Structure 1
Amino acid sequence: MTKAQLLTRSLLSLALSAAFSAQAATSISFSQQAQSADTQVLLVSPDSLKQQQHPMLQDARVQQAINAEQFSAQYGKKLELLAPATGVSRLLLLGTGDTAQLTAAKTNTLGGDLTAYLQGKSSLDQASIDATVLDQHAPALAQGMELRAYTFDKYHTRKSKPKDLKLALVVPDQRVAATRFEPLAAVNAGVFLARDLTNEPADAVYPESFAAAALELKKLGVKVEVLDEAAMARLGMGAILAVGKGSNRPPRMVIAHWQNSKQAPLAIVGKGITFDTGGYNLKTDAASIFRMNSDMAGAAAVLGTVKALALQNAPVNVVAVMALAENKISDRAMLPGDVIKSASGLTIQVGNTDAEGRLVLADGLWYARDKYKPRAIVDIATLTGSKVGALGNYYAGIFSEHEALTQQLISAGRQVDEELWQLPLNSKFADEMKSDIADLNNNGKTTGASSAAWFLQQFTGDTPWAHLDIAGNALSSSDKGVHVTGATGYGVRLLTEWALKQP
């Protein structure tokens, strides 16, 4: 192993230790032998159940309970037995369904649900989990377990210490499982960064403090650059400057570059509105404006992706551009009807100050295209309410006229259970974005999600490009699967998977 690889492995260990000690009390280890624990968890498939492949399944009392409950080991089904054998106070049988049909995404969800179940047992502090039936999918189970163990409780003054669950996964080959888990743990660390940034209130995360968080990645070998107002003005970035000028906390453009390949880079661009009042087109729905600290989830996702790639020393060249601003009301704020000039040279009439995300992305997309000449660009943003109306939080919307790129991203999303659904994008939407006095209007009249995507397309040139609208996906309203209530870190797993699979 080279010195560089040893350094990366050491950095990974340190970063994950810091992340999980603060955010996830659950610790997971791999073993080839069952560990002594009062609680035993046995993952079983219909075949392993039928063939009684595990000694526990051969116990007469266990068989009696299985028959009585008609437990058939279907995916996600559980059967709990109390004191089924000497030295075991609790046995949980967890069905995997047909293991040939298991995917990494389904195994992640199984792991998330298992963590939630074990956390719900007040007297439980350790368990041995026999995952040998999963074979190569055991690391994915551990990934899902850790994702669900995430907590964000730093602002609670009355809180008990999180339960420190010690979980030992029994696997066919301990070394192989640990090696396969390393990149998954790196992805989890990226997801946790994105969740943390998105969960923070707006008085903690604003353009300058977000930039400070990005600068921390320099410790991992990431090249990080921060453009302030003067630098953006020299580059002609009138769109992002217009959005941010109403706030006394100025906008920033942050560039984080993980360059570990000689190929032309892939560019990922994130919308980073750290709080969105709507501007003078003020948001009037209390529930909506309450959540607007999460309007930077796209920027958080691309920063988390860079961290995930850096921690695993990924052999890729990825540049992330984060366009950061607060959309506030003041005597300096942009007004409906104003005309601004973007860095690309196109002029934009502000039809609606609450359509600000596409304005900051316009300059971010131009910068990524002009400065880095990427072979593909993907932007990610909590952009439109109409996307939520179309797809809810079941899918994120994808907009692109580049079929190969679209299919790459859809496939990556399916692999990690961050699924995409393609929505229309073509010149039919151009009329919606016309202005009488400027090149473009930033406000579509009817088709909000597609017209917004068409607007963004005007700043991407000939570069293969796709837009991901993650409105509705950035937050979870309940604990479910690998997510807890709050920020999901949506996009980190998808973009990491996509970047790693590019030829």
Structure 2
Amino acid sequence: MFDIRLTDVSDDTSTRLVPVGPELDAEASALAAATEEAGAAGRITAFPRPLRQPSRVLLVGIGDGGEADWRAAGAAAIREVADDEALEVHLPAGTAASSVRGLAEGLWLGGYRYRDAPREPRTREVRIFGSSHAESLTEARITARAAWLARDLTNTPSSVKNPEWFAAQVVAEAATRPGLTVTVRAGDELERFGGLRAVGAGSVSPPRFVEVSWQPPGATTHVVLVGKGITFDTGGISIKPRDAMKLMKKDMGGAAAVVGAVLGVADLGLGLRVTALVPLAENAVSGSAFRPGDVITHYDGSTSENTNSDAEGRIVLADALAYAADVLHPDLVLNLATLTGANAVALGKRTAALFSPWDDLAEALAEAGTATGERMWRLPLCDDYVDNLRSDIADRISAPAGPGSVMAALFLRDFFGDARWAHLDMSAPSWSESHELELTKGATGWGARMLLGYLSALDRGQQAGT
């Protein structure tokens, strides 16, 4: 990530790269007054000043001044300047801490560029003047760093990103953060993970199961984050059409998000116990691939009849969720998965589907999503469709007829155990076709920032005794 240095306007003016004074203020005010919609969030109005310093000034709109508007402003500003061009941001007097956080997040997120592994350092410097909120800048940096990692992992081509590679990236990232532990299971250690082994059976790259744990002293609440980690999805024997397969390197977006989030939890030093579970497999086509009609035995001993090998995500997630219930006994489970195309049909490209039986949990997650710009919309867990899951030869079928996102959620509901839970189907918003607000073309890292926002609020509430 490039560097942002927060400098208060009261500091020695020699730290500024350009002079700012009444003349420039008057010019900027006159231009803003003469420009329609100059104040819209993220709207850039640029004016040159030949033979003077600064030689170019950008007026950046902040809309109504909410944190999301400041995020849009930061992203627009960083895109407007060349990589080798100095950028100074001068804030209005009395700018709030939340605004500084939003601005800094926007600067980092809007400036994201994917680099092939090993990831190249980004060394760009941006200076912010006008308000001292160093804590807000730190929070923004941690949040953006989590999203950058999730984007990097998702954007990495599947020719590089097999389960072994992904697990190694998690181990390397966690090693830089004291207090995190990582366990990677493979081979015979996956004996009980029947779904994960079945989905990965067709690939020359064997599956992995990664567990990342943050357990601070005195933690009383245990949250498990589960993320779907299909490093490439051909659809298996139920093979996808070519166009539907082109972006399937992103089918581990949920895994990338929960990994980014648990690393961010450690960076923030939250007082919650948080475990990320990442089932990793490549769904390939070969003579050893699992077949429609196969019966799969999951970690909890229950069985599923595979009726569509392109519905593999729920098969691997079932093992991870059952493991969490049987071994970890968490208070709360949050499951993120690029699970169904039906999500995009129902809610479009920017909104995830949210499923949870608990109103307060659904509301808190939706609030975190709104605050971070990672929207979600709650859909019903319709018991009217439960009969569609019945199988003549197993406990359930994997891909029953009915509304796609709802049926996947009903399938997964069997595996959450006694914990409170929510399932997020985030296939559509995990990828952006263009630069938009704080998003850049490609992987969005959807979920990492929302999870950090939600977990931070949960931690603050516990500390306050609410």
Structure 1 counterpart of 2:438, from 463, 482, 494: 482
Which residue number corresponds to residue 131 of structure 1? 91
Matched, 1:372 2:328: yes
- How far apart, in 2, do the equivalents of 1:67 and 1:30 lie? 29
Greater displacement, 79-88 / 418-427: 79-88
SS of 2:110's equivalent in the other structure is: helix
- How far apart, in 1, do the equivalents of 2:37 and 2:303 lie? 65
Q: Deviation per CA, 1:424-464, whole angstroms, max 9, x where unpaired?
A: 11322212212111110001212111000000001112211
SS of 1:304's equivalent in the other structure is: helix
Structure 1 counterpart of 2:46, from 80, 86, 99: 80
Offset at residue 310 of structure 1 (A)? 1.2
- How far apart, in 1, do the equivalents of 2:41 and 2:68 lie? 13
Which residue number corresponds to residue 309 of structure 2? 353
Which residue number corresponds to residue 17 of structure 1? none
Q: Percent identity?
A: 34
Structure 2 counterpart of 1:464, from 420, 423, 432: 420
- How far apart, in 2, do the equivalents of 1:447 and 1:64 lie? 55
- How far apart, in 2, do the equivalents of 1:274 and 1:131 lie? 43
CA distance 1:90–1:243, shift in 2 (3 Å): same
Which residue number corresponds to residue 79 of structure 2? 116
Which residue number corresponds to residue 322 of structure 1? 278
Which residue number corresponds to residue 139 of structure 2? 183
Structure 2 counterpart of 1:166, from 125, 135, 150: 125
Offset at residue 197 of structure 1 (A)? 1.0
After superposition, residues 38-49 of structure 1 pair within 5 angstroms as: none
Offset at residue 264 of structure 1 (A)? 3.2
- How far apart, in 2, do the equivalents of 1:67 and 1:187 lie? 35
Which residue number corresponds to residue 447 of structure 2? 491
TM-score (norm 1): 0.84
Greater displacement, 464-473 / 162-171: 162-171
- How far apart, in 2, do the equivalents of 1:449 and 1:71 lie? 39
- How far apart, in 2, do the equivalents of 1:112 and 1:384 lie? 30
Offset at residue 113 of structure 1 (A)? 1.3
- How far apart, in 2, do the equivalents of 1:183 and 1:56 lie? 35
Structure 1 counterpart of 2:230, from 273, 282, 298: 273
Q: Deviation per CA, 1:182-225, whole angstroms, max 9, x where unpaired?
A: 12211222111111111111121111111111112033121111
Instruction: Extract unaligned runs of 5+ from structure 1.
Output: 1-19, 41-53
Is the CA contact 1:150–1:484 (under 8 Å) kept in the aligned structure 2? Answer: yes
Matched, 1:197 2:177: no
SS of 2:429's equivalent in the other structure is: coil
Is the CA contact 2:42–2:437 (under 8 Å) kept in the aligned structure 1? Answer: no
Offset at residue 163 of structure 1 (A)? 9.6
Which residue number corresponds to residue 141 of structure 1? 103
Offset at residue 167 of structure 1 (A)? 2.0
Which residue number corresponds to residue 65 of structure 1? 31
Which residue number corresponds to residue 301 of structure 1? 257
Letter in 1 for 2:69: K
Matched, 1:393 2:353: no
Letter in 2 for 1:91: V
SS of 2:127's equivalent in the other structure is: strand
- How far apart, in 2, do the equivalents of 1:425 and 1:56 lie? 61
Which residue number corresponds to residue 37 of structure 1? 17
SS of 2:416's equivalent in the other structure is: coil
Offset at residue 28 of structure 1 (A)? 1.9
Is the CA contact 1:125–1:166 (under 8 Å) kept in the aligned structure 2? Answer: no
SS of 1:473's equivalent in the other structure is: helix
Q: Deviation per CA, 1:131-178, whole angstroms, max 9, x where unpaired?
A: 13433211320121011111113389xxxx9996532110222xxx22
Letter in 2 for 1:485: K
Which residue number corresponds to residue 362 of structure 2? 406
CA distance 1:125–1:308, shift in 2 (3 Å): same
Is the CA contact 2:233–2:283 (under 8 Å) kept in the aligned structure 1? Answer: yes
Is the CA contact 1:279–1:353 (under 8 Å) kept in the aligned structure 2? Answer: yes
Matched, 1:230 2:198: no
Is the CA contact 2:180–2:266 (under 8 Å) kept in the aligned structure 1? Answer: yes
- How far apart, in 2, do the equivalents of 1:364 and 1:467 lie? 13
Is the CA contact 2:115–2:152 (under 8 Å) kept in the aligned structure 1? Answer: no
- How far apart, in 2, do the equivalents of 1:113 and 1:80 lie? 12
Instruction: Extract unaligned runs of 5+ from structure 2.
Output: none
Is the CA contact 1:113–1:480 (under 8 Å) kept in the aligned structure 2? Answer: no
- Structural RMSD (CA): 2.3
Letter in 2 for 1:445: A
Q: Deviation per CA, 1:343-373, whole angstroms, max 9, x where unpaired?
A: 1121110100111000000000011111111
Letter in 2 for 1:94: V
- How far apart, in 2, do the equivalents of 1:163 and 1:293 lie? 24
CA distance 1:65–1:85, shift in 2 (3 Å): farther
Offset at residue 85 of structure 1 (A)? 9.1
- How far apart, in 2, do the equivalents of 1:56 and 1:414 lie? 39
Letter in 2 for 1:87: Q
After superposition, residues 87-106 of structure 1 pair within 5 angstroms as: 87-99=53-65, 102=66, 104-106=67-69
Is the CA contact 2:42–2:69 (under 8 Å) kept in the aligned structure 1? Answer: no
SS of 2:101's equivalent in the other structure is: helix
CA distance 1:71–1:440, shift in 2 (3 Å): closer
CA distance 1:427–1:214, shift in 2 (3 Å): same
Q: Deviation per CA, 1:210-245, whole angstroms, max 9, x where unpaired?
A: 111111203312111111131120xx2211111111
After superposition, residues 6-17 of structure 1 pair within 5 angstroms as: none
After superposition, residues 44-55 of structure 1 pair within 5 angstroms as: 55=22
Offset at residue 312 of structure 1 (A)? 2.1
Letter in 2 for 1:37: L
- How far apart, in 2, do the equivalents of 1:501 and 1:69 lie? 39
CA distance 1:71–1:152, shift in 2 (3 Å): closer
Is the CA contact 2:89–2:127 (under 8 Å) kept in the aligned structure 1? Answer: yes
Letter in 1 for 2:392: D
Is the CA contact 1:258–1:317 (under 8 Å) kept in the aligned structure 2? Answer: yes
Letter in 2 for 1:200: T
Letter in 2 for 1:167: V
CA distance 1:71–1:435, shift in 2 (3 Å): closer
CA distance 1:297–1:97, shift in 2 (3 Å): closer
Which residue number corresponds to residue 11 of structure 1? none
Which residue number corresponds to residue 44 of structure 1? none
- How far apart, in 1, do the equivalents of 2:435 and 2:64 lie? 26
- How far apart, in 2, do the equivalents of 1:350 and 1:452 lie? 13
Is the CA contact 1:147–1:188 (under 8 Å) kept in the aligned structure 2? Answer: yes
Is the CA contact 1:38–1:90 (under 8 Å) kept in the aligned structure 2? Answer: no
